[in-house]
């Protein structure tokens, strides 16, 4: 038996495997010169680009490298983009930020600040003004109403109303209303104002932002809706970055964001005008403890649902999650 061809094949195979391993290691994480910032384009990408371009241009100048935007129409797209390292940091809601931390190895390092100066916001249920539609009627579940929920990963559009309003009353929106449509806050607001939906979830921050526009359509829309339910106050939105970012780069990004718009110089005033377009005051530092309230909201909803189903293991799991959240909160610096 001639072993030479076999030996040659084995050697060639080993060399090929070694080459592939070397290529794999060499191409494992090619350094991307540009920074990619993910942004939800709730209304349209063109509108988001107009508001965000000046801020990203200033960031690019400060970091000495290109900073690009990744626009997504929903939060799942933003989470997946970070998960597959197509983006480096982004503005999330609390619930989607929690998902980015869990699934995309993200870390909270900053948070937005409400331009009104009031920290936090509330989830709300809105109806068309003059419709006579009350919260009791909405919760009667007679399957005659068309209802709008938020993005499934939206804190105020889905998680808060489910946790604080529907779950405690054992209400499944899909079985309660004639139709349930999931969309962003702006679409739900215009749909209720225009009579396309009877009621919908929203939040006070989105409504305030629309009111500040001062356009005829904004005034007409805000004049055509009213709030029939409010949630407890929800923390401001987190800014999440990839945990594996180069520490030096992560520090440069943080330095830029926490200095931007701060001070009484003409340049700081210009920067605050830029921040006003993206609807925040100067950013503040934060960490993963920022997500404790949304984790508590999530676990509370799971506990209520488990009790409604009489599911003892699920109830114990939710109680354990709440106990862990309480321990983490107690350990925070006072």
In the chain, where the domains are located: 35-115+236-286, 121-234, 292-327
Q: What is the pLDDT of residue 20?
A: 39
Span 35-115+236-286: which CATH code?
3.40.190.10
Whether pLDDT at 1 is above 50: no
Q: What is the pLDDT of residue 216?
A: 86
The three-state secondary structure class of 144 is coil
Q: 35-115+236-286 with 121-234: one CATH topology?
A: yes
Lowest mean pLDDT among 70-74, 103-107, 316-320: 70-74
Q: What is the pLDDT of residue 32?
A: 67
Q: What is the pLDDT of residue 2?
A: 41
Average pLDDT over residues 127-136: 97
**225 burial via Cβ count (<10 Å: 0-12, 13-18, 19+):** buried
The answer to whether the beta carbons of residues 38 and 75 sit under 8 Å apart is: no
Whether pLDDT at 4 is above 80: no
- What tokens does 38 get? 């993910």
Whether pLDDT at 254 is above 60: yes
Looking at residue 29, the DSSP 8-state letter turns out to be: S
Q: What is the pLDDT of residue 9?
A: 35
- Is domain 121-234 in CATH 3.40.190.10, yes or no? yes
Q: What is the pLDDT of residue 148?
A: 98
Whether pLDDT at 15 is above 70: no
Which residues have a Cβ under 8 Å from the Cβ of 2 and sit 6 or more positions away?
none
Whether pLDDT at 181 is above 50: yes
The answer to whether the beta carbons of residues 277 and 129 sit under 8 Å apart is: no
Within 13 Å of residue 6, how many CA atoms lie on the same side as its CB?
A: 3
pLDDT in tens, 193-224: 999 999 999 999 889 878 777 788 888 999 99
Looking at residue 333, the DSSP 8-state letter turns out to be: -
At residue 63 the predicted structure's pLDDT band, cuts being 50, 70 and 90, is very high
- pLDDT above 70 covers a percentage of the chain that reads 89
CA distances from 39 to 4, 245, 277 (A): 60, 18, 14
Of residues 205 and 247, more confidently modeled: 247
At residue 290 the predicted structure's pLDDT band, cuts being 50, 70 and 90, is very high
Of residues 25 and 209, more confidently modeled: 209
Q: Give the integer Cα–Cα distance in Å for 160 and 165.
A: 8
- Torsions phi, psi of 60, nearest 5? -60, -45
pLDDT in tens, 26-62: 444 556 689 999 998 865 667 789 999 999 999 999 9
The answer to whether the beta carbons of residues 304 and 163 sit under 8 Å apart is: yes
Strands, DSSP E only, in the chain?
35-40, 67-72, 89-91, 106-111, 121-128, 146-149, 179-182, 199-203, 225-234, 238-242, 284-285
Q: What is the pLDDT of residue 145?
A: 98
- pLDDT above 90 covers a percentage of the chain that reads 75
E strand or H helix that includes residue 127:
strand 121-128
Looking at residue 287, the DSSP 8-state letter turns out to be: -
């Amino acid at each position: 038996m001639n072993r030479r061809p076999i030996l040659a094949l084995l050697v060639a195979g080993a060399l090929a495997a070694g080459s592939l391993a070397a290529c794999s290691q060499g191409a494992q994480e090619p350094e991307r010169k540009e920074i990619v910032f993910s942004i939800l384009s709730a209304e349209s990408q063109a509108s988001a680009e107009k508001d965000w371009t000046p801020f990203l241009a200033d960031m690019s100048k400060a970091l000495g490298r290109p900073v690009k935007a990744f626009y997504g129409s929903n939060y799942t797209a933003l989470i997946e983009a970070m998960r597959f390292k197509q983006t480096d940091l982004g503005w999330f809601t609390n619930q989607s930020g929690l998902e980015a931390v869990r699934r995309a190895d993200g870390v909270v390092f900053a948070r937005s600040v409400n331009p009104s100066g009031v920290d936090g916001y509330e989830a709300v249920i809105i109806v068309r003004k003059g419709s006579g539609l009350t919260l009791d009627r909405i919760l009667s579940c007679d399957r005659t109403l068309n209802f709008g929920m938020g993005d499934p990963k939206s804190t105020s559009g889905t998680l808060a109303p489910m946790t604080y309003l529907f779950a405690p009353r054992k209400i499944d929106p899909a079985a309660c209303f004639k139709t349930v449509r999931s969309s962003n806050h702006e679409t739900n607001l215009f749909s209720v104002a225009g009579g396309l939906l009877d009621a919908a979830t929203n939040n006070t921050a989105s409504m305030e932002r629309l009111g500040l526009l001062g356009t005829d359509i904004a005034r007409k829309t805000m004049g055509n809706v009213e709030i029939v339910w409010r949630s407890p106050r929800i923390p401001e939105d987190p800014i999440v970055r990839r945990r594996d970012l180069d520490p030096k780069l992560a520090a440069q990004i943080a330095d830029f964001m926490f200095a931007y718009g701060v001070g009484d110089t003409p340049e700081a005033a210009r920067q605050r005008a830029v921040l006003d377009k993206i609807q925040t005051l100067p950013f503040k530092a934060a960490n993963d403890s920022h997500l404790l309230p949304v984790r508590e909201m999530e676990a509370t909803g799971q506990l209520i649902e488990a009790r409604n189903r009489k599911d003892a293991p699920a109830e114990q799991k939710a109680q354990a999650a709440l106990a862990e959240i309480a321990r983490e909160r107690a350990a925070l610096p006072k």
